[in-house]
Amino acid sequence: MPTHEVLNQTPPRAGVDEFAENTVLVESVRRLDAEWSIPTLHEIGRLVGTEQFQSDAKAANEHTPVLKTHDRYGNRIDEVEYDESYHRIIGSALSYGAHSAAWADPRPGANIARAAAFMLFAQIEPGHACPVSMTHAVVPALVNSAELSSKWLPKILSREYHPELDSEKPSAIFGMGMTEKQGGSDVRSNTTTAKRSADGSYRLTGHKWFCSAPMSDAFLVLAQTPKGLSCFLLPRVLDDGTRNTFNLQRLKDKLGNRSNASAEVEFSDTVAFLVGEEGRGIATIIEMVAATRFDCVLGTAAGMRESVAEALWHVRHRKAFGKLLIDQAAMASVVADLALEAEAATLAGMRLARAMDEDASEEEIAFRRLATAVTKYWVCKRGPGHAYEAMECLGGNGYILDFPIARRFREQPVLAIWEGSGNVIALDVLRAIAKEPATVEAFMAEVALADGENPQFDSYLASTRQLLASGPDERSARRLTERLALLLEASLMIRWSPSPVSEAFVAARLGDQTSGLYGSLPSGCDLNSILERH
């Protein structure tokens, strides 16, 4: 049509090195003993920044997984069919060790390098990050069984990707099944039962209400034995090549996380193997839960980075009312505020990652116990609102699924819900404070490293100490968790970010001019210094 001329639209944001563009991530990798990984991270950054990878990310979310319960002859197969784009994405992530690198080559900075790789892939396509995370997280639980570790660990450490179900293949992806329809987070109410067989294995009968990544090669699941709730490894394919009983009832029709399948599954005389001791299922699986909670932080921070990158790209190219959006003070304040949030989340995730390396001291281990719960609560809670505000920066285009921010907005809530929603995590913080006082000491020692550098921070630190001393209860659990998270983020910003950036964050989050919405930064904030970093 002669009237149809496309003007004032932003060009595609493709052909970039996503690692090189992320100043905060690059600085963190250098600062936290992982500089040796930078060449590989640049490779990943260039890969995920290609138009092809972005196209695959879009296709994997448009052509969602399809349940195939039977083959054409009527035989039960219980398989999920994924689009080829999904296979290319997860295959790339595994080839770079986003699931295994920290275990395969443990050294100072190993978890920093792995976290950065995980974030780069999750920034562009988050759904595949679910099985990648669970495969990474299963290792600490498997060490409770030497026999299972010797069999499965080499497959976990493999960087090959074979999507077919086959007991002979050299690699493996893991999933997890904890929640049941009657209990949700209350896993002690699980009704799935496990009976020991003569050969030492167990037979499971019951169900799981949420089984993520059902085409995984094996799962850690919880089931009741005479001694109580216990942890089991459940393979999809048995050693003789036959399929284990794993009846997929339906796939969940999820708001987001569309590229990754989640299913309801029924067990009937299903073969499984005990991990750890009978009756200590929660203690056995808790390290896996902690690791996946940590990856929720990384995934949310990666999503925040995507939102900031896309929003800034738009406002730096789009004109309105006679000038670029970025040159208009109201918009500059919004995107700068979004950038502050993303920077703080990234720093918190990276600091946690360093505490997970093999050289972690007792104090570092204590710190990460509380800090994982605190950051999981706050960073993941901030994710959906952050994505929404970034989406609004694009106006109507932001609401369209052709643009990545709309997909990100649908994705962020799952990271707050998965592995413990808000109340579960806040109560876990209270539990850690009450039962493991060393975690509080280590956490407060970490945040106090910024004491004396900023009066607003010092005041916030003092009032939080008073709240801790008052003996917080369930009603104040969320308020305390929020304060602890903001203290950690502010402390890291003060110590690691340029002064104009950290001062803006402290004033906007801890000062007396705080706002519940992005874009209401206190007067005097140096917006240019913030935006130049992003």
Residues 330 and 223 grouped into a single domain: no
Residues 370 and 408 grouped into a single domain: yes
- Which parts of 316-361 fold into alpha helices (H)? 329-354
Domains held by the chain: number? 3
Residue with tokens 């997984």: 65
Residues 246 and 338 grouped into a single domain: no
Task: Give pLDDT, residue 184.
Answer: 78
Task: Return mean pLDDT, the chain.
Answer: 96
**Domain-located, residue 162:** no
Residues 447 and 405 grouped into a single domain: yes
Predicted TM-score of the model (pTM): 0.97
Task: Give pLDDT, residue 513.
Answer: 84
Q: What is the pLDDT of residues 433-455, one digit of tens each?
A: 999 999 999 999 999 999 999 99
Length of the chain: 534
CATH number at residue 360: 1.20.140.10
Q: What is the pLDDT of residues 336-360, one digit of tens each?
A: 999 999 999 999 999 999 999 999 9
| pLDDT at residue 39 is higher than 90 | yes
| pLDDT at residue 503 is higher than 90 | yes
Domain boundary residue, one of 227, 262, 281: 281
**Domain-located, residue 140:** yes
Residues 252 and 293 grouped into a single domain: no
**Domain-located, residue 3:** no
Residues 436 and 515 grouped into a single domain: yes
Confidence of residue 471 (pLDDT cuts 50, 70, 90): confident
| pLDDT at residue 3 is higher than 90 | no
**Domain-located, residue 10:** no
Confidence of residue 531 (pLDDT cuts 50, 70, 90): very high
Q: What is the pLDDT of residues 106-143, one digit of tens each?
A: 999 999 999 999 999 999 999 999 999 999 999 999 99
Higher pLDDT, 456 or 471: 456
Q: What is the pLDDT of residues 279-299, one digit of tens each?
A: 999 999 998 999 999 999 999
Q: Which of 115-129, 181-195, 256-270, 460-474 has the lowest mean pLDDT?
A: 181-195
Task: Give pLDDT, residue 2.
Answer: 83
Task: Give pLDDT, residue 419.
Answer: 87
Residues 210 and 87 grouped into a single domain: no
**Domain-located, residue 504:** yes
CATH number at residue 235: 2.40.110.20
Domain that holds residue 189: 173-281
Residues 127 and 198 grouped into a single domain: no
Domain boundary residue, one of 265, 281, 297: 281
Residues 251 and 130 grouped into a single domain: no
**Domain-located, residue 213:** yes
Say whether 353 sits in a helix, a strand or coil. helix
Using only the alpha carbons of the chain, give its radius of gyration: 23
Domain boundary residue, one of 121, 153, 185: 153
User: What are the CB-based long-range contacts (under 8 Å, 24+) for 516-523?
Assistant: 517/389, 518/334, 518/337, 518/338, 518/341, 518/385, 518/386, 518/389, 519/330, 519/333, 519/334, 519/337, 519/389, 520/333, 520/337, 521/333, 521/336, 521/337
Q: What is the pLDDT of residues 235-255, one digit of tens each?
A: 999 999 999 999 999 999 999
Task: Give pLDDT, residue 251.
Answer: 97
Residues 228 and 306 grouped into a single domain: no
Task: Give pLDDT, residue 438.
Answer: 97
Residues 478 and 463 grouped into a single domain: yes
**Domain-located, residue 450:** yes
CB atoms within 10 A of CB 89: 26
Residues 326 and 205 grouped into a single domain: no
Task: Give the C-alpha separation, 89 to 58, whole Å.
Answer: 11
**Domain-located, residue 435:** yes
User: Positive or negative, the Cα torsion across 277, 281, 282, 286?
Assistant: positive
